[in-house]
Amino acid sequence: MKYLLNHIGITALSVLLATATCNNSSDAAKEETYTESSISAPEPAAAEQSAPQTAEDTLKKDRDSVLIKTNMGDMVVVLYNETPQHHDNFLKLVNSNFYNGILFHRVIKNFMIQTGDPLSKDADPNNDGTGGPGYLIPAEISPLYRHNKGSLAAARTENPERASSGSQFYICHVATPFLDGQYTVFGETVKGLEIIDKIANVPIGMNDRPNAPVKIISMKHINAPKSASKGK
């Protein structure tokens, strides 16, 4: 069966009221509102302090990171420890070079870009989205993680357990809250959001397949936590 990703419009202006087939289917970071009272005045003539860590620095220290090299540029994603089966399976496939040469076979601007199907490498575009490693992953859907821009989530078929494809995944081009609670979000993009924009804007044809191949050149596990403990 083909992996499906329900593309449900939230308002009358969110076109594409349909079920977007992912064929065998943050970082819109939460904006913090600052007021004058929430910003402290600088300390007078204090000793020089080092710059505070960014969220990205923190994530990369205690979570696994993966570099995704494509023919349109590079992205870095971090994997959530709170979705251990998806986390470990993704790293297993990355380390075995499973994703090398696989295409982004389904691209929908203002929605998501999808990849991970080994059948996308053959000459038959009609079987795109139907392949995988031959197994599913139990759902690990958490209210902690939502579909924001850059979110990394697992594609799946329509099944009552919401089990995920063993290899197919998508990256959100924009926030898609109508998918929350339906698919497992297991990571997020911390570098290369502009590459998601580039891929999402390529010309597409039948079945939302890019007219010119958008390809994963390689994926590499570039950072492992110094601590063996998982969780925040």
84-104 pLDDT, tens digit per residue, is 999 999 999 999 999 999 999
- Give Cβ neighbours of residue 125 (< 8 Å, ≥ 6 apart): 105, 206, 207, 209
Confidence class of residue 147 from pLDDT cuts 50, 70 and 90? very high
184-202 average pLDDT score: 98
Q: What is the mean pLDDT of the chain?
A: 80
What's the length of the chain?
Answer: 232
Q: What pTM did the predictor assign?
A: 0.74
Domains and CATH numbers, the chain: 5-26+55-223 (2.40.100.10)
